[in-house]
Structure 1
C-alpha cells in the first residue's frame, strides 16, 4: 500500500514545503498539500503532517522529514 502523506499549506513557514518536495522526489508515496488539515492551531506551533491519517510532528522540518521517512520504511516493510 502506498503511504499517503498530507501537509498543511499554512505550515510551510516551518519549511515543510521542502520536506514535501523531497518526499515527492525520492519516495513512492502519495504526497498531498491542502490549504488546511483542520489541525486547528498545530500549523502555528510546529512542523507537522499526516501519515496515513496519523498526526506526526517534530521540532524542525528536517526532523519531520526523517520521521516520515522512517514511517514510510516501516509501512513498506509490512507490505
Structure 2
C-alpha cells in the first residue's frame, strides 16, 4: 500500500508546497493538499503533514521532508 501524505494549504508559507512537489515527483506515495487538516492553528506554527493519518512536524520544511521520508521507510 502506498503511503498517503496530506498537507494543509495554509502551511505553504513554510515551504511545504515545494516539498509536496518533490514527494509527488520522486517517491511512491499519494500526496494530497487540503484547505485544512483540522490541526487547530498548527499550520501557522510549524511545518507539518500527516503520513497515513499520523501527524509529523519539524523545525523547517527541509527537516520535515526528511521526517516524512523516514516515516515512509518505517511503513515499508
Q: TM-score, normalised by structure 1?
A: 0.94
- Give the match's secondary structure for 2:6: strand
- Output one character per residue of 1:26-58: Cα deviation in whole Å (capped at 9) or x when no partner: 110010000110101100000000000000010
Mapping 1:23-62, distance limit 5 Å: 23-62=23-62
How many angstroms apart in 2 are the aligned matches of 1:64 and 1:72? Answer: 12
Superposition RMSD in Å: 0.5
How many angstroms apart in 1 are the aligned matches of 2:42 and 2:67? Answer: 17
Structure 2 unaligned segments of length 5 or more: list them: none
Count of matched residue pairs: 76
Q: TM-score, normalised by structure 2?
A: 0.97
- The structural deviation recorded for 1:68 is 0.2
User: Where has structure 1 moved over 4 Å in runs of 4 or more?
Assistant: none
How many angstroms apart in 2 are the aligned matches of 1:66 and 1:19? Answer: 10
Structure 1 unaligned segments of length 5 or more: list them: none
